[in-house]
Amino acid sequence: MSYKVDILGVQVDSLTMAEAVDKADQFMEEKACVLIATANAEMIMRATHDKELRDILNAAALVVPDGAGTVWAAHHLGYQMPERVAGYDLAQELMRLAPARKRRIYFFGSAPGVADKAKKKAEELYPGIEIVGTRNGYFKEADEPAIIADIKEKKPDLLLAALGVPKQEKWLNAHKEELGVPLSIGVGGTLDVMAGVMKRAPRWMQKAKLEWLFRGMLQPKRAGRLLALPKFVLKVHSYKK
């Protein structure tokens, strides 16, 4: 049974991957038009000074603990949190189940061509999967009506948006009612990893909770963003009642 954990003002769900998958499936079944957010330390830190993002997260149907830092923070603050629920893995689980459930999926985001490569990979991994549309994440405000119209026309049950934080959360929230998609999830670099343009950390680094370090090594531009982690640790220490 999941419950909410307050981490620096963001309400994060304490639940297992299996519970997250069940809830996501239920949202699609109910055609709920809701948002799932995947909260790592970097997102939570950003939410401490971005009220719009914080409000979106706290209004989301589910905020899963995507990152070892989030799970550590919950434990440090005295709460139970059974495991990390990585956005990438949650997306894969929902895609794996999609053919049997007859779920329609739309990929939105990343550089031109990436969503199409990710679609091809999904079709190899999950035979029978229905990826009903793709659109890259490079667009101007003037392009938005056409993007929204395409998503509405394709009628996906699940919209995976890889626009980066906080753009993906803000965009999905702003257009949630208009899109009418049962379930939308901001998935960050998921399409890049599926398309093979970005590597995921080796399994041993994931288990050692060092995926953040691997990303920093692969993308030196992220080095500044990695400073959010020690700041996050210090902030959680001071937040402890």
Helix (H) or strand (E) holding 133: strand 130-135
Structure tokens at 122: 């999904």
Which residue's structure tokens are 């982690």? 229
Which residue's structure tokens are 């139970």? 80
Structurally, the chain folds into a number of domains equal to 1
Structure tokens at 211: 């995926």
Question: Cα separation of 220 and 83, whole Å?
Answer: 28
- In this predicted structure, what is the pLDDT of residue 29? 97
Question: Cα separation of 158 and 60, whole Å?
Answer: 15
**Per-residue pLDDT for 214 more than 60?**
no
- In this predicted structure, what is the pLDDT of residue 67? 87
- Summarised one tens digit per residue, pLDDT across range 92-125 is 999 999 999 999 999 999 999 999 999 999 999 9
Which of 65-69, 91-95, 127-131 is predicted least confidently?
A: 65-69
Question: Cα separation of 223 and 61, whole Å?
Answer: 31
- Report the alpha-carbon angle 101-192-204, nearest 5: 90
- Summarised one tens digit per residue, pLDDT across range 191-204 is 999 999 876 667 77
* Alpha carbon distances (Å) from 21 to 9, 17, 62, 156, 184: 25, 6, 11, 17, 13
Helix (H) or strand (E) holding 122: helix 114-125
- Report the alpha-carbon angle 26-169-79, nearest 5: 65
* Pick from 43, 48, 38: nearest CA to 84: 38
Record the pTM. 0.90
CB count within 10 Å of CB 22 equals 13
Question: Cα separation of 181 and 161, whole Å?
Answer: 12
> What mean pLDDT do residues 210-237 have?
71
Residues spanned by the domain of 12 = 3-239
